[in-house]
Amino acid sequence: MDDDALLAAAARWPVARLATAAASGEIDLVPITFALEGSTLVTAVDHKPKRTRKLRRLENIAREPRVTVLVDRYDDDWASLWWVRLRGIAIVVSEGPGFTDAIAQLVEKYPRHYSQVPPEGPVIRVDITDVRVWQSS
């Protein structure tokens, strides 16, 4: 696959990992559902069980908006491995057109999970500033 095909595969992939920087300098890493369109990635706080809606990733982004998202494919056939790393600047959006557009993108990508109970947010929007791709062989 060429770089554009890898980026398209990443956009279709069901899960990614979002890395944010804590105040202590530690990196917090969480799995996310996401939608990727052009140079923007969105994810949202959804209805999956959480101890609180005051999530560390939101606090981290408010303090340090630079984030990294990794989308990767693992397979026992190592010739099939690939990853796409997206770095960018994140903002948290709780209302307005950016919020409703992001929720619509997530519902479209994950109809089985979000068509009946869409994410309530907030939304994290990442404006991508750097893309790196890798594939085996």
DSSP string for residues in 50-115: -S-SS-HHHHHHHH--EEEEEEEE--SSGGG-EEEEEEEEEEEE-SSHHHHHHHHHHHHH-HHHHS
What CATH number is attached to the domain comprising 127? Answer: 2.30.110.10
pLDDT given for residue 121 in this prediction: 80
pLDDT tens per residue across span 104-117 = 999 999 999 999 99
Number of domains in the chain: 1
3-class DSSP state for residue 11? helix
> HSE of 77 in the Cβ direction (CA atoms, 13 Å)?
2
Instruction: Provide the token pair at 70.
Output: 């990794």
2 backbone dihedrals φ, ψ, rounded to 5°:
-85, 175
pLDDT tens per residue across span 14-57 = 999 999 999 999 999 999 999 999 999 999 988 765 565 678 99
Judge whether residue 120 has pLDDT over 80.
Answer: yes
pLDDT given for residue 53 in this prediction: 60
Taking the model in full, what pTM does it have?
A: 0.92
pLDDT given for residue 106 in this prediction: 97
85-92: average pLDDT: 98
Domain of residue 56: give its range.
3-135
